[in-house]
Structure 1
């Protein structure tokens, strides 16, 4: 049986969002339950959104909650580099190979041409899906235009007929009509890969067996699979998890001023209580037990018990749990813990 390898691949864009931390925790538990490897990869290809010092926040958070990675930028490993911007030189080769295999094409369209199609779709009241005339250009002609210095992107090629399906560990079998899938850009005109493309290449190269991510990616997963199939690569096991919500309607989000991990710690919540609480957001153990150490979570964690429904973040429940942890401390530890406050 293939070794279980999961990865936490955050973008260094600020504080650690509670939903992100829960994804990291689930990935860690899936790997460790099977004596597998847990990898940390920094996804910094979206250069505009990078925040100074955010990589340190990722390291500090993981350390504070005890999610120790087996491979990563700071400790190395056999599958590095573990920072996407240090892997840039290889994505273009993969993109060119995908064009050869018929899974992508070179696109020379300007923003104006794409915008004109978008406006037309809006005026007709239909959802926009770019119909790219460039996919009818032969590879030879496209290469000549590139050699002549024309700007281009590499865009996925999707045959309009047929269906693509995948099996998800949480949501079961999902089938999608290929005609509904848009042909996204894989390599931008500046040579940077898009998040979607870099992810596939890195996961394949790092031999990731289980991909855990938010259920908002369910709709793009069929497109990823078409790329895996074009290369003839093994498709990972997918675990799509429901979002963490503030209430019935609103997702937890830093933009709306919802607490990050750092904010909660500042308010006096203990890292181990936060981790224990978020483990139970969207996942249920078989027993009624609610207080778990990380070691106990590793033993009992089962993917099959992840819920399909969104989980609501309840600060009162976290406060109760935090109290349980505080009361269980020795007087010395309690004194050390509350002294800074």
Structure 2
């Protein structure tokens, strides 16, 4: 059984870009007679709010999307909210530690920036970590631990390049060491996105991860974590983003992009779904259509391979 998911972060109102990704992920699974799972990625407790999580559920249902398992209806692999899954992330860390794949890092952000000697980082992650703490002796670690609580980093396998075929973006190649060793648990105890999403998708038997292109360069790190944890990696599909007229990723600064704003001013869900489908290459004009009506004609090859520049629709 094919299983896909949509996993919003409840740090604000759901907007057009989020809704487009959700719609495409939902159509992908429904067109394959697969199962669609909703997961709430609220692990960053400083930014996440319950009110935004509740609003996301309302927005998605208003758009005509449903799910087979989720935080509000449960399912075989509950819980579906990251803040309720912290024990699983700790189990993952213990497994990685037993495999010798982790080490404590005492570097500050300033230390990392000053040690960066070349732009070999990943665009979404900043400069590559130079490996400063990877080869500290036990005595050196003990001395540093007297003054600072460490984060935990995943040690990239030496010489391991990553290649994979993305279902939308095509063939991908990441050289060995791309981005450097990365944090899986912060010094304040917060588990990283990379670790939590791998544990979640593995536990929930996700076979297809369809998400925004901004997460493409997280994929090699996640593939390495899947391998280190003994899990089978899913298929990955990364959708090019919606950009505003300024060429930058569609965001709050462009104004009027919240799904709730369209609903509150009387826009019908069919009109908004039709617009989302049109800018995604699924229909040839922005006409009113329900999400269900798009299932039978859904074709991944219709999805644009480059970012789509749009104006905020006046619907």
Q: TM-score range by the shorter chain?
A: 0.7 to 0.9
Tell me the secondary structure at the aligned position of residue 220 of structure 1: helix
Distance apart, 1:292 and its partner CA: 3.2
Distance apart, 1:65 and its partner CA: 1.4
Structure 2, unmatched stretches of 5+, are 121-126
Distance apart, 1:55 and its partner CA: 1.5
Q: Is the 8 A contact 2:23 2:291 kept in 1?
A: no
Note the aligned Cα RMSD (angstroms): 2.8
Measured against aligned partners, the alpha-carbon deviations of 1:274-305 in whole angstroms (never above 9, x if no partner) come to 012112222335x7795533222111112222
Residue 129 (1) aligns with residue 128 (2): yes
Give matches, 1:163-312, under 5 Å: 163-247=161-245, 249-285=247-283, 290-312=287-309
Which residue in the other structure is 1:322 paired with? none
Mapped to 2, the partners of 1:224 and 1:242 lie a distance apart of 19
Q: Is the 8 A contact 2:273 2:289 kept in 1?
A: no
Which residue in the other structure is 1:50 paired with? 48
Mapped to 2, the partners of 1:289 and 1:281 lie a distance apart of 8
Distance apart, 1:253 and its partner CA: 0.4
Which residue in the other structure is 2:111 paired with? 116
Tell me the secondary structure at the aligned position of residue 300 of structure 1: coil
Using a 3 Å threshold, how does the CA distance of structure 1 residues 169 and 51 change in structure 2: closer, same or farther? Answer: same
Tell me the secondary structure at the aligned position of residue 259 of structure 1: coil
Distance apart, 1:210 and its partner CA: 0.8
TM-score of the two chains, using structure 2 as the length reference: 0.88
Q: Is the 8 A contact 2:5 2:209 kept in 1?
A: yes
Mapped to 2, the partners of 1:255 and 1:96 lie a distance apart of 42
Q: Is the 8 A contact 1:65 1:271 kept in 2?
A: yes
Mapped to 2, the partners of 1:240 and 1:134 lie a distance apart of 33
Measured against aligned partners, the alpha-carbon deviations of 1:27-63 in whole angstroms (never above 9, x if no partner) come to 1111111111111111111111123511111111112
Distance apart, 1:110 and its partner CA: 3.9
Residue 35 (1) aligns with residue 30 (2): no
Measured against aligned partners, the alpha-carbon deviations of 1:128-154 in whole angstroms (never above 9, x if no partner) come to 32223433358x889999999973322
Mapped to 2, the partners of 1:36 and 1:109 lie a distance apart of 44
Residue 78 (1) aligns with residue 76 (2): yes
Q: Is the 8 A contact 2:194 2:221 kept in 1?
A: no
Tell me the secondary structure at the aligned position of residue 238 of structure 2: strand
Mapped to 1, the partners of 2:81 and 2:36 lie a distance apart of 15
Equivalent position to 2:153, from 147, 152, 155: 155
Flag the structure with larger Rg.
Answer: 1
Tell me the secondary structure at the aligned position of residue 94 of structure 1: helix
Residue 89 (1) aligns with residue 87 (2): yes
- Stretch deviating more after TM superposition (4-13 or 199-208): 4-13
Q: Is the 8 A contact 2:270 2:288 kept in 1?
A: no
